[in-house]
């Protein structure tokens, strides 16, 4: 961290002249700045800086020629009537850094203060969120960037999402990757595991997923970006955001300068060249710090404005992270919308996952949706719609209950819990471990499989279409799937737990809705039963162990086959509630702990006339009576689009397994 930041921090001393300065006239609470030029606007001829700080008595720009040395100039900015301070620095400023120096009659601690702070709209920074970088964005474009295209899938349900942390993916030496732990390592081509399996980028292409969903890659507070990646003394998921519009520096080969911008664009470009989209996990619900903290930004620019407080004036903390970003306030909302637009335009990302989206207000998310779709009509937007807010009225918030019909999707904890039991670390069992459908029973589970509802517990929360539900059995939070199966089915032999794993993936990838996989589950990744590994630097916990791919090649092939099946058969990707109701017919006479349904009559234009799906969530072999002759393409062992066997009049289903079969016949049970 920059030395002067520690010296300045928030000193909280009274300004010599502060007491006598005339109070600035504040804009109204609903003030909204209409232009899109906050932060630094660079040209080779001059750079203009603008920051909204309506309560400041004075704002000056400290200009630095590098990340560490003293300021080369400190220049006062000019305030307009609404509190926008601006300054034009003549000449080519690329490569220089700056901080704002504000004199506040009421600083973050409530007393007069002089603070030094990064630009809230910083597009770049020196290492460890030190100083805001001025740079020429065009010079960070890799060759061919102007030809780079979004991954455009018509509907959310066409996506197969794959969640991964940049460092986890490549830091293990057995990834066979040179640039370990880095943006560039994620997209090295031709890498292999010691057993000769494709790793890294080639692995993603082989698996067939459509989008990589990256845990936060915008600048975050934890760790020291200057350590060599293979010798980090720290680890972080990145849910401690500082500068929302700058890429994180620890995943770049150099933390200073504009290396991170270039290398992140190279990552997007390389994934796009393999037809894989990039979804960013964005954490607008809280920031790493508030008040006078080293990594506090907004409270030093306009103390109090950007954070919710309760009726008693205390910081709201429904996030559990110490603060709540007040997205409902116009200039906070603008920052969210501007940031989303910026990543879409500048970095060509394909979508966003909103952390604790239920803490954000609905109006902001609707504006985000409209803005994103104007830039990329196929942008995919989803988030955690948990109902957590304590201060604002819950009908204002972007929760599962309030996003119906918006086109924004929510993680579906209903299907998650019915598949595997709850998300806790205990022995609770769901469908795949023989526990039936513990939350609302099979009738509720059917609604999940139809892509018609989300929500935890017994209560189904309707969605407008399958495009609004993210179906998953595992995510970075809580135990990963393989670890969950170990604690919930401890007496089952490994071969049975593998069947349970495959069945869980099979449900996620055949159900109506948007399938989401936690990276590494496709080869039975384990985090050694650590359920919350957000800062765990044990090399056995978070990093991918690529040797698992050869060890569990059958599981990998199963996931890959299911993905191929889903992608080549639109019947699994119905886009409306009505289409699901018309196409999807459940067997009402299925044996206990068995769900069976047919997708009828070339559903969604499918080349197959009738598709039968059977999930056997019991430890007993079952035999389903069916009419006519069926071609089986998925069973307990293998999955794909090729015919594995033919069945007539009845279909044997092994314990803890699924069947997918199709027929040109009438398709009755
Ligand atoms: Ca950082």
| DSSP characters over 370-409 | HHHHHH-TT-EEEE------SSS-GGGB--GGG-TTSS-E
CA distance 77 to 89: 10
Mean pLDDT, residues 353-357 taken together: 98
Q: Residue 426's pLDDT band (boundaries 50, 70, 90)?
A: confident
Pairing of strands 132-133, 97-104: antiparallel
CA distance 626 to 68: 74
CB 59 within 8 A of CB 52: no
- The residues pairing with 612 across neighbouring beta strands, listed in sequence order, are 598, 661
What pLDDT shows up at residue 667? 85
- The answer, yes or no, to whether residue 7 has pLDDT greater than 90, is no
Mean pLDDT, residues 290-306 taken together: 97
What pLDDT shows up at residue 23? 56
Q: Residue 1's pLDDT band (boundaries 50, 70, 90)?
A: very low
Residue with the two structure tokens 């009049």: 649
- The residues pairing with 657 across neighbouring beta strands, listed in sequence order, are 616
Classified as helix, coil or strand, 45 is coil
Q: Residue 24's pLDDT band (boundaries 50, 70, 90)?
A: low
What pLDDT shows up at residue 2? 36
- The answer, yes or no, to whether residue 11 has pLDDT greater than 50, is no
pLDDT tens digit sequence for 89-98: 999 999 999 9
- The answer, yes or no, to whether residue 403 has pLDDT greater than 70, is yes
pLDDT tens digit sequence for 614-666: 999 999 999 999 999 999 999 999 999 999 999 999 999 999 999 999 999 99
SS (H, E, C) 548-565: HHHHCHHHHHHHHHHHHH
Mean pLDDT, residues 540-544 taken together: 98
* Ligand 1 centroid from CA 246, angstroms: 10
Q: Residue 3's pLDDT band (boundaries 50, 70, 90)?
A: very low
What pLDDT shows up at residue 10? 38
Closest to 39 in 3D by CA, of 124, 129, 130, 138: 124
Mean pLDDT, residues 153-175 taken together: 98
CA distance 663 to 631: 6
- The answer, yes or no, to whether residue 610 has pLDDT greater than 50, is yes
What is the rounded average pLDDT for all residues in the chain?
95
Catalytic member of 384, 417, 483, 606: 384
* Ligand 1 centroid from CA 261, angstroms: 14
* Ligand 1 centroid from CA 604, angstroms: 45
pLDDT tens digit sequence for 48-71: 999 999 999 999 999 999 999 999
pLDDT tens digit sequence for 219-256: 999 999 999 988 999 999 999 999 999 999 999 999 99
Catalytic member of 163, 256, 355, 389: 355
Percent of the chain residues past pLDDT 70, beyond the cut: 96
Which structural domains are found in the chain, ordered by start? Answer: 28-140 (2.60.40.10)
* Ligand 1 centroid from CA 59, angstroms: 26
What pLDDT shows up at residue 669? 78
384 labelled catalytic: yes
Sheet with 594-599, side-by-side order of all strands: 584-586, 594-599, 610-616, 657-663, 622-634, 645-653
pLDDT tens digit sequence for 31-44: 999 999 999 999 99
* Ligand 1 centroid from CA 218, angstroms: 8
Give Cβ neighbours of residue 551 (< 8 Å, ≥ 6 apart). Answer: 523, 524
Instruction: Tokens for 117, please give them.
Output: 């702070």
355 labelled catalytic: yes
* Ligand 1 centroid from CA 278, angstroms: 20
pTM: 0.96
- The answer, yes or no, to whether residue 4 has pLDDT greater than 70, is no
**DSSP string covering 258-281, please?**
THHHHHHHHHHHHHHHTT-EEEEE
* Ligand 1 centroid from CA 94, angstroms: 21
CB 294 within 8 A of CB 366: no
* Ligand 1 centroid from CA 166, angstroms: 13
* Ligand 1 centroid from CA 622, angstroms: 53
pLDDT tens digit sequence for 374-388: 999 999 999 999 999
* Ligand 1 centroid from CA 243, angstroms: 9
């Amino acid at each position: 961290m920059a030395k002067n930041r520690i010296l300045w921090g928030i000193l909280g001393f009274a300004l010599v002249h502060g007491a006598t300065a005339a109070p600035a006239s504040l804009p109204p609470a609903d003030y909204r700045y209409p232009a899109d030029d906050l932060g630094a606007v660079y040209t080779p001829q001059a750079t203009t800086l603008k920051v909204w700080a309506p309560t400041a008595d004075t704002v000056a720009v400290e200009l630095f020629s590098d990340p560490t040395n003293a300021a080369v100039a400190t220049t006062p900015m000019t305030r307009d009537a609404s509190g926008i301070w601006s300054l034009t620095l003549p000449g080519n400023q690329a490569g220089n850094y700056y901080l704002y120096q504000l004199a506040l009659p009421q600083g973050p601690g409530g007393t007069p203060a002089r603070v030094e702070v990064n630009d809230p709209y910083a597009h770049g920074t020196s290492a460890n969120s030190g100083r805001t970088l001025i740079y020429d964005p065009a010079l960070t474009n890799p060759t061919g960037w102007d030809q780079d295209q979004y991954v455009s899938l018509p509907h959310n349900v066409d996506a197969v999402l794959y969640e991964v942390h940049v460092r986890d993916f490549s830091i293990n030496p057995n990834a066979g990757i040179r640039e370990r732990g880095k943006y560039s390592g994620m997209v090295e081509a031709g890498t292999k595991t010691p057993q000769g399996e494709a790793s890294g980028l080639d692995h993603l292409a082989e698996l067939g997923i459509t989008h990589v969903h990256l845990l936060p890659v915008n600048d975050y507070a934890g760790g020291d970006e200057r350590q060599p990646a293979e010798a980090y003394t720290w680890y972080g998921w990145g849910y401690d955001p500082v500068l929302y519009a700058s890429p994180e520096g620890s995943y770049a080969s150099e933390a200073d300068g504009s290396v991170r911008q270039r290398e992140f664009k190279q990552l997007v470009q390389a994934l796009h060249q393999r037809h894989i989209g990039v979804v960013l996990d964005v954490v607008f619900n809280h920031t790493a710090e508030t008040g006078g903290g080293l990594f506090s930004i907004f409270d030093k620019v306009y103390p109090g404005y950007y954070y919710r407080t309760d009726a008693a004036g205390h910081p709201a903390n429904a996030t559990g992270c110490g603060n709540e970003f007040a997205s409902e306030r116009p200039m906070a909302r603008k920052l969210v919308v501007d940031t989303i637009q910026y990543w879409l335009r500048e970095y060509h990302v394909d979508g966003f996952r909103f952390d604790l989206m239920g803490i954000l207000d609905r109006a902001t998310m609707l504006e985000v949706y409209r803005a994103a779709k104007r830039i990329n009509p196929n942008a995919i937007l989803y988030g955690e719609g948990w109902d957590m807010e304590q201060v604002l009225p819950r009908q204002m918030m972007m929760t599962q209950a309030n996003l119906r019909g918006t086109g924004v999707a929510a993680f579906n904890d209903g299907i998650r819990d019915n598949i595997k039991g709850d998300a806790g670390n205990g022995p609770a069992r769901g469908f795949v471990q023989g526990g039936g459908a513990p939350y609302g029973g099979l009738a509720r589970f059917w609604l999940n499989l139809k892509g018609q509802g989300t929500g935890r517990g017994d209560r189904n929360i309707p969605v407008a279409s399958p495009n609004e539900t993210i179906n998953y059995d595992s995510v970075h939070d809580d135990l990963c799937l393989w670890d969950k199966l170990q604690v919930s089915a401890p007496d089952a032999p490994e071969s049975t737990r593998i069947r349970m794993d495959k069945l869980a993936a099979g449900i996620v990838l055949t159900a109506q809705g948007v399938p989401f996989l936690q990276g590494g589950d496709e080869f039975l990744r384990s985090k050694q039963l650590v359920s919350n590994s957000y800062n765990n630097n044990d090399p056995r916990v978070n990093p991918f162990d690529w040797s698992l791919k050869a060890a569990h090649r059958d599981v990998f092939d199963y996931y890959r086959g299911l993905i191929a099946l889903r992608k080549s058969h639109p019947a699994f990707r119905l886009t409306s509630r009505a289409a699901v109701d018309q196409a999807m017919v459940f067997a009402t006479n299925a044996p206990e702990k068995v769900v069976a349904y047919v997708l009828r009559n070339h559903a969604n234009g499918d080349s197959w006339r009738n598709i039968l799906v059977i999930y056997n969530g019991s430890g007993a072999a079952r035999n389903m009576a069916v009419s006519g002759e069926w071609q089986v393409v998925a069973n307990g062992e293998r999955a794909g689009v090729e015919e594995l066997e033919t069945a007539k009049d009845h279909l044997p289903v092994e314990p803890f397994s699924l069947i997918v079969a199709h027929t040109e016949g009438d398709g009755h049970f």
